[in-house]
Amino acid sequence: MRILFASQNKSKKDEISKIFERFSDKYSIYIDDKNIEVDEDQETIEKNAIKKAIEYYKFFKTPVISDDSGLFVDSLDGMPGVFSARFAGENATDEENIKKLLKLMQNRANKIAKFQTVLCFYNGSELITTFGELHGSIILKPRGDNGFGYDPIFEVNGKTLAELTTEEKSKISHRNEASINMVKKLDEI
C-alpha cells in the first residue's frame, strides 16, 4: 500500500520509510510535491498528528500517515513540547530553537529530556495512532552533523542523535517505536 506522508520534511519521511522497510514490504511511504499547510494549533502532539492526517486525506484522497513529535525537558516543565518546531518563533530554524533551549538550560542541573512521537494513519475510515518515546538528556554544546531538529543536543548513551548514522538513529528513535507499532496495527486491517 502506498501511503502519503503528511509533511514536506524529507528527513522525517526517510527515517520512517527505512523503519517501515525493515519490518514490511507491504507499505511504501512517499511525499507529494504539492504541499498543504496545516495549522498545528492543537494542545497535544497526538491531536496535531490526527488533524494533519485528516486534512491531508481530505485534500489528496489517499491513505495518509502523519507525524508530530516534541522534545519534553523535565526541568522546563515539559517545554518546548508541542511547540518544539516553533519554540523560538513561528518560522524559527533548528539552530534558533536550539539556541533558545540552551539559554534556558544554562543554570539547570536536571538535563533529563525525552522525545515523543505520535504517528497517525487515516484512510477515510480507519484512524490509527501509535506512540514512541526516547529518553535521554540535553547537552549544552551541540555535537554531530547528522539528523535535524534538536538532535545535536540530545544525548543517549554518550552520543547525540546527530552523531549517529540514520540507520543507528532509526533503530533507537522515538519514531522507531511508533513506526513498529504502526506496521503491526496496519497489518491487522
Rounded CA-CA distance 118/183 in Å is: 13
* Catalytic residue IDs: 68
Rounded CA-CA distance 5/10 in Å is: 9
Cβ proximity of 100 and 87 under 8 Å: yes
Per-state percent for the chain, helix, strand, coil, to nearest 5: 40, 25, 35
Peptide bond before residue 80 is cis, with ω within 30 degrees of 0: yes
Q: β-strand 28-30 against 2-5: which pairing, if any?
A: parallel
Q: Write the CA distances from 102 to 99, 105, 110, 116, 148, integer angstroms.
A: 5, 5, 13, 19, 16
Q: Write the CA distances from 66 to 29, 39, 75, 102, 130, integer angstroms.
A: 11, 13, 29, 29, 11
